[in-house]
């Protein structure tokens, strides 16, 4: 029922110069690794990218950045990447920083048909400048609008041919909201299974939100390996 790609180049072929894309992941966890690599190869330019972070210098969205394919980045924390800093200071890259919870909720709103909502995050700070402030129950809140994307590139552990997705542990992060907020959502899954394999009560992202799937092996680079010694 869904488009099942076998080539990552084909999977991203419809993404054009100037597209707005959402990319799942928190740090390097839960990012659609091969879709990002294919996007680098596609040389598509002038992208607006919505993602919590922007990868590291040599992996994830950092690769798109190094290749100067991103015009504008909307995220909450972009500090792991030296090339990012260089491009911002050189005026080559526009950045919109938004509190992480506001980012998550704006994306959820985009998928849920909620055009705007109020949140306390950012009241009385720089990011409230020019924004509408409103009082509910004696507390100030900022009006925030929904975010949508032309394409959402997300990653899941398991996907079925009906588009249902299941995520693994903290690799869930922004992926479910982005799945719903993309006009076209392409899911890179570690394992593609037949419908009926996933218990309907365990589905994290219902198939309706996903337009295409592709199976891909993940490197899963670790940013901060922290281990304890056997006691």
Partner 1 sequence: MLNQLDKALVRERIARRAEREIVSGSYVNLGIGMPTMVANYIQGGKQVVLQSENGLLGIGKSPLKEEVDPDLINAGKETVTAQEGASYFSNAESFAMIRGAHLDLAILGGMEVSETGDLANWMIPGKMIKGMGGAMDIVHGAKKIVIIMDHVNKHGTSKILKKCSLPLTGKQVVNRVITDRAVMDVEESGLVLIEIAEGWTVEEIVESTEAELKISEHLRIGTY
100 is a site residue for its own copies (CB under 8 A): no
Q: Which of 63, 39, 75 is nearest to 151 (CA)?
A: 39
Q: Does 138 bind its own copies (CB under 8 A)?
A: no
Q: Give least dist CB 115 to its own copies, A.
A: 4
187-215 b/e with 16+ CB inside 10 Å = b?
Answer: bbbbebeeeeebeeeebbbebebbbbbbb
Query: How far apart, in whole angstroms, are the C-alpha atoms of residue 222 and residue 146?
Result: 31
**Residue 5 φ/ψ, nearest 5 degrees:** -90, 155
Give Cα separations from 86 to 80, 92, 155, 203 (angstroms).
12, 9, 29, 41
Q: Select the residue interacting with partner 1 from 5, 69, 173, 188 (CB under 8 A).
A: 173
Beta bridge partners of 125: none
Largest CA distance in the chain: 55
Judged by beta carbon, residue 29 or residue 47, the one nearer partner 1 is 29
Q: Measured between alpha carbons, how far is residue 206 from residues 59, 120, 191 in Å?
A: 29, 30, 16
Residues 166-225 that bind its own copies (CB under 8 A): 166-169, 200-202, 204
Partner that binds at residue 137, options its own copies, partner 1, none, CB closer than 5 to 8 Å by kind: its own copies
- Encoded one letter per residue, x for contact with partner 1 by CB under 8 A and - for no contact, window 56-95 reads -------------------xxxxx-----x--xx-----x
Interface positions, 11-50, toward partner 1 (CB under 8 A): 26-30
Site for partner 1 in 129-148 (CB under 8 A): none
3-state secondary structure (DSSP) of residue 77: coil
* Contact residue for partner 1 among 67, 119, 150, 215 (CB under 8 A): 119
Across 76-128, where does the E strand assignment appear? 94-97, 116-119
Name the segment binding partner 1 (CB under 8 A); options: 11-19, 33-41, 62-70, 113-121: 113-121
- Is there a contact between 164 and 193 (Cβ–Cβ < 8 Å)? no
The reply on whether position 206 binds partner 1 by CB under 8 A is: yes
Is there binding between residue 120 and its own copies (CB under 8 A)? Answer: yes
Among the listed ranges 6-14, 15-23, 57-65, 197-205, the one in contact with partner 1 (CB under 8 A) is: 197-205
| C-alpha of 69 from chain center | 16
CB nearer to its own copies: give 38 or 166: 166
**Least distance between its own copies and beta carbon 136 (Å):** 4
169 binds partner 1 per the rule CB under 8 A? yes
Interface ranges with its own copies (CB under 8 A):
105, 109, 112-120, 134, 136-137, 139, 141, 145, 166-169, 200-202, 204
């Amino acid at each position: 029922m869904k488009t099942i790609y076998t080539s990552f180049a084909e999977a991203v072929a419809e993404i054009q110069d100037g597209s707005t894309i959402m990319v799942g992941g928190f740090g390097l966890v839960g990012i659609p690794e091969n879709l990002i690599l294919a996007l680098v190869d596609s040389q598509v330019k002038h992208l607006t990218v919505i993602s919590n972070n922007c990868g590291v210098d040599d992996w994830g969205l950092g690769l798109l950045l190094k290749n100067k394919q991103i015009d504008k980045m909307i995220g909450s924390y972009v500090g792991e990447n030296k090339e990012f800093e260089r491009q911002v200071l050189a005026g080559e890259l526009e950045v919109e920083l938004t509190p992480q919870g506001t980012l998550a909720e704006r994306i959820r709103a985009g998928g849920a048909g909620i055009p705007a909502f109020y949140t306390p995050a950012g009241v009385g700070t720089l990011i409230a400048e020019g924004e509408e402030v409103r009082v509910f129950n004696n507390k100030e809140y900022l009006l925030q609008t929904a975010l949508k994307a032309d394409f959402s590139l997300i990653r899941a552990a398991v996907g079925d041919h009906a588009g249902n997705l299941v995520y693994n542990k903290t690799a869930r992060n922004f992926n479910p909201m982005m799945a719903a907020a993309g006009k076209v959502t392409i899911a890179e899954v570690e394992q593609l299974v037949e419908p009926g394999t996933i218990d309907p009560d365990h589905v994290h992202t219902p198939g309706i939100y996903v337009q295409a799937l592709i199976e891909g092996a993940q490197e899963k680079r670790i940013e901060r390996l922290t281990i304890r010694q056997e006691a």
